Structure 1
Amino acid sequence: MKQNMMKQLCVFLCHLLVFFCLFTIIPSAYGRKLHRSCKKHHHTYGVSCNSTNNFNILCFGAKANGVSDDSKKLVAAWNAACKVDGGILQIPSNHRFLIKPVTLQGPCMSHVVIQIDGTLLAPSKVGSWSKSNLYQWINIKWVQNITIQGSGTIDGQGCNWWAPMGSKHTFDIKPTALRFYASEDVLVRDIMIKNSPQVHLKFDNSRGVKVNNVSILAPGNSPNTDGIHLQNTRDVEIMHSNIGTGDDCLSIQTGCCNVHIHHINCGPGHGISIGGLGKDKSVACVSDILVENSNIENTLYGARIKTWQGGIGLVKNITFSNIQVTNVNSPIVINQYYCDKSLCKNETGSVAIKEVKFDKITGSYSTQPIYLACSDDIPCTEIDLSGIQLKPSRRPLEGSHVQQALCYNSYGSSNDQLVPSSMNYCLKKGGDGAINQISRLSNADC
């Protein structure tokens, strides 16, 4: 009897030991494994990496310290987002990512979003850039239906590129911060782009572009740092944005048409410009541009059209309307003798300019209210001045002095009583048959 009882007790104790192991030792080992897993998950800053269409750059191994090169991680995240329906590439907030020159290439499966809430940093040292990648930093090409948005920043860190002209450190080629090439249905909104080595945001050979509520910033003395640059691009709307750089706030180049720009705050910089067009006797065609309801402050120019001597082509149907200028050197400019050097060779011929309207340009100027310098060979025709009210600034730019209105070889009409009054008699009336013939010939080139 005692032996049976002892045997049953041993069996009971064995079962109890097994039970204890199952509920204490094994869970403890599992807990250690889970703890290790949590530590690994914590390394990705608590980001879930299991989504089917959200691709966070941290999940691809980005260091996010602003020092380590995260370029390949950005490209990997892009490739993943590009391959799925509705892919989103996420650049998370509170992190800095050092990115060397990259190309994000399509076509993609469907609409793709780049959500920038953190900061993308370009290499700050010029020597760290490859000579084969000096034209652009972030290059997006062959993409249809793309959105770039967010509360973050694209920082070109361009100060080391901005050596004074003529110094031994001057660079002939400098990168554009963000460039779209041969893309359609592009939306850029809400982000900040700053301190690009050269142009901040460029669209080449693209169509269906919208830019909304962006901020583009660079020092006023930073050379060639245009805010937004359009070339061979059509069907564009740029609105509700703040742009202050060392060159044109907006630059519209050859091949652009159907562009609507409105509610822009521009300054410092060189104003809102069409051109320069026709360099090296090239063909330039620009048409159907409307710039309206904007403010331009503390800039060299306001609403400007500029062409090189010797060019071919036509600029037509251009309207600058309801623009407030404050302390602008020359608010209204057409210059068919544009030269970015101290001296340029005289050439015959020019890109023709016609059907240009300056309407309701009001505010203050520091040097000259209007400067229309048109070609001897191809005058400007059908220029319309209306509702212009400009007074000398109380804070003239350094070294400037007030000059009278100039309209050289410019034909058109003025409406209302313009201020200053010299603009009422500035334009030549009408235009003879030869001028119209020149316009027709130029139109044929486009």
Structure 2
Amino acid sequence: MKFVQYFVILGLVFLESNIAADGNETTHDVRNYGAVGDGITDDTKGFEAAWEAACTSDSGDVKVSVPPGIFLVSRIQFQGPCKSRPISFQILGTIVAPPRSKWGKTDKVLEWLHFHKVDELAVIGNGQGIIHGNGHSWWSYGAAESRPTALRFSCCNGLIVRGLKHMDSQRNHISINQCKNVSITKLRIVAPMESPNTDGIDIGASTNVEIHDSIMETGDDCIAINGGTSRVNISGIACGPGHGISIGSLGKDGSYDEVEAIAISNCSFRRTENGLRIKTWQGGKGFARRIRFSNIKFDAADNPIIINQYYCPHKTCRNKKSAVKVSDVTYVGLHGTSISKGATVNISCSQTVPCTHIRMDDVNIVPTDQGAPSVQCINADVTEHLSNLALHCHNSE
């Protein structure tokens, strides 16, 4: 735990010390660049012009301001590097995407709002800002890969995202890729339970990331941690509905993935499809290690604890010998109820690359029907202390 806290605190001190007080900032209001905010006019060019002016400013601390109103914005990239640092993007109104029918050709659209190579960036809503993806017009359209992420940050170091409401994304609400020193706090992420692939936050190839004190109600993972990610601290997340918090999937198509130094604490899962999940593909390579889940509450979660080295969402999957190594995983202080008709705890590890150093300490999860918890454990080295699971792991033939 200390290794995560050290790097996160170090990064946050750096971040907060580089966000100037409002009185020292030069403000670029999007309305001064042609945006209207009536929910009808296309305000994309006004946003682009305001960003260009702020990013190229020599005045130091600058702010792009989105005031109260409804701003219709098409696909846009906020490109860096910027001369001005730090730079803030304040959202006090609603930014809404056009419906899918207005996007034109969509087979290669990866994101709707994209910040790229912008260091020392703060995107702040002060509890008022809303980012609305108009996802209802997308969810029945084609595969997930043909839908854009609502808000993506790539190669943005020293990033703060705070105080926003994210609604009805086309796909992921927020993606963090190749970023260092990230703080995400006080978000509300909302999409219907049946909306497909509407993850709350996806993290990939990033390090020193803190996510805390947020509410996530989605149709997929509340948070997903993907390959190349390390030193992540997640706390104070209320998840549900949704698919819980996932590490992975890792090792798809035989790829090499690494995830380590992950701490998830003081979170709650209410009527989620899963709780805490680690999922890796057969045939993958790499590792997921030094992972700690602590002080977690489950309220009628379907599958509270899962480690699955046989992840495959397809109807048929070939059995492969190699696997992403899963080790040094600790569960401590996990309590609550499960509605699972299968296993309350399911640890399914590879015969050739078994899971090692898995610890259950003070884990007490009971079915809502008051029966005994159902457990499944194969090919894993698990120790249990003060728990009600009675895990008996065995090796598969």
TM-score by length of 1: 0.79
Letter in 1 for 2:202: H
Letter in 2 for 1:160: S
1:232-243 → structure 2 map (5 Å cutoff) = 232-243=205-216
- SS of match in other structure, 2:329: strand
Structure 1 residue 203 corresponds to structure 2 residue 203: no
Q: What corresponds to 1:162 in structure 2?
A: 139
- SS of match in other structure, 1:424: coil
Letter in 2 for 1:337: Y
Q: What corresponds to 2:106 in structure 1?
A: 131
1:62-73 → structure 2 map (5 Å cutoff) = 62-73=35-46
Residue 63 of structure 1 and its aligned partner are, at CA, apart by 2.1
Q: What corresponds to 2:300 in structure 1?
A: 327
Which digits, 9 at most, give the CA deviation of each residue in 1:102-127, with x for residues without a partner? 00011122100100000001111345
Residue 347 of structure 1 and its aligned partner are, at CA, apart by 1.8
Is the contact made by 2:169 and 2:198 (CA closer than 8 Å) also made in structure 1?
yes
Which digits, 9 at most, give the CA deviation of each residue in 1:173-205, with x for residues without a partner? 210011000110000000111110100011001
1:156-235 → structure 2 map (5 Å cutoff) = 156-163=133-140, 169-170=142-143, 172-235=145-208
Cα distance in 2 for partners of 1:389, 1:171 equals 36
Cα distance in 2 for partners of 1:61, 1:409 equals 62
Q: What corresponds to 1:249 in structure 2?
A: 222
Is the contact made by 1:161 and 1:171 (CA closer than 8 Å) also made in structure 2?
no
Which digits, 9 at most, give the CA deviation of each residue in 1:346-371, with x for residues without a partner? 22210000000111110000113200
Residue 402 of structure 1 and its aligned partner are, at CA, apart by 8.2
Runs of 4+ in 1 over 3 A off after TM superposition: 168-172
Is the contact made by 2:61 and 2:85 (CA closer than 8 Å) also made in structure 1?
yes
Q: What corresponds to 1:122 in structure 2?
A: 97
Is the contact made by 1:304 and 1:334 (CA closer than 8 Å) also made in structure 2?
yes
Residue 60 of structure 1 and its aligned partner are, at CA, apart by 0.6
Q: What corresponds to 2:277 in structure 1?
A: 304
Cα distance in 1 for partners of 2:354, 2:232 equals 25
Is the contact made by 1:413 and 1:427 (CA closer than 8 Å) also made in structure 2?
no
Which digits, 9 at most, give the CA deviation of each residue in 1:1-51, with x for residues without a partner? xxxxxxxxxxxxxxxxxxxxxxxxxxxxxxxxxxxxxxxxxxxxxxxxxx9
Is the contact made by 2:377 and 2:391 (CA closer than 8 Å) also made in structure 1?
no
Q: Looking at CA atoms only, which structure, 1 or 2, has the larger radius of gyration?
A: 1
Cα distance in 2 for partners of 1:110, 1:140 equals 15
Is the contact made by 1:197 and 1:225 (CA closer than 8 Å) also made in structure 2?
yes
Cα distance in 1 for partners of 2:207, 2:29 equals 33
Which digits, 9 at most, give the CA deviation of each residue in 1:273-296, with x for residues without a partner? 100000000001000000001111
Is the contact made by 2:106 and 2:146 (CA closer than 8 Å) also made in structure 1?
no
Higher helix share: 1
Letter in 2 for 1:112: I
Cα distance in 1 for partners of 2:111, 2:217 equals 20
Cα distance in 2 for partners of 1:176, 1:129 equals 16
Segments of structure 2 that go 5 or more residues without pairing to the other structure are 1-23
Letter in 2 for 1:386: D
Q: What corresponds to 1:42 in structure 2?
A: none
CA pair 129-265 structure 1, distance change in 2 beyond 3 A: farther
Structure 1 residue 412 corresponds to structure 2 residue 382: yes
Cα distance in 2 for partners of 1:69, 1:266 equals 34
Is the contact made by 2:77 and 2:115 (CA closer than 8 Å) also made in structure 1?
yes
Cα distance in 2 for partners of 1:160, 1:348 equals 42
Q: What corresponds to 1:152 in structure 2?
A: 129
Structure 1 residue 383 corresponds to structure 2 residue 358: yes
Is the contact made by 1:366 and 1:402 (CA closer than 8 Å) also made in structure 2?
no
Cα distance in 1 for partners of 2:133, 2:372 equals 37
CA pair 181-171 structure 1, distance change in 2 beyond 3 A: closer
Letter in 2 for 1:322: N
Aligned residues, how many? 365
Cα distance in 2 for partners of 1:361, 1:118 equals 39
Is the contact made by 1:205 and 1:233 (CA closer than 8 Å) also made in structure 2?
yes
2:54 is matched with which residue: 81, 87, 98? 81
> Pairwise CA RMSD of aligned residues?
1.9
- SS of match in other structure, 2:175: strand
Cα distance in 2 for partners of 1:312, 1:228 equals 24
Residue 271 of structure 1 and its aligned partner are, at CA, apart by 0.3
Cα distance in 2 for partners of 1:299, 1:342 equals 23
Is the contact made by 1:161 and 1:170 (CA closer than 8 Å) also made in structure 2?
no
TM-score by length of 2: 0.88
Letter in 1 for 2:274: Y
Segments of structure 1 that go 5 or more residues without pairing to the other structure are 1-50, 396-400, 430-446
1:269-284 → structure 2 map (5 Å cutoff) = 269-284=242-257
1:348-427 → structure 2 map (5 Å cutoff) = 348-367=321-340, 368-394=343-369, 404-416=374-386, 418-419=387-388, 423-427=389-393
Is the contact made by 1:161 and 1:174 (CA closer than 8 Å) also made in structure 2?
yes
CA pair 381-392 structure 1, distance change in 2 beyond 3 A: same
2:232 is matched with which residue: 249, 259, 266? 259
Q: What corresponds to 1:96 in structure 2?
A: 70
Residue 410 of structure 1 and its aligned partner are, at CA, apart by 0.9
Is the contact made by 2:365 and 2:373 (CA closer than 8 Å) also made in structure 1?
no
CA pair 413-170 structure 1, distance change in 2 beyond 3 A: closer
Residue 82 of structure 1 and its aligned partner are, at CA, apart by 1.5
Residue 170 of structure 1 and its aligned partner are, at CA, apart by 4.6
Residue 327 of structure 1 and its aligned partner are, at CA, apart by 0.6
CA pair 236-301 structure 1, distance change in 2 beyond 3 A: same
Is the contact made by 1:287 and 1:315 (CA closer than 8 Å) also made in structure 2?
yes
Letter in 1 for 2:138: W
Cα distance in 1 for partners of 2:345, 2:356 equals 16
Residue 403 of structure 1 and its aligned partner are, at CA, apart by 6.7
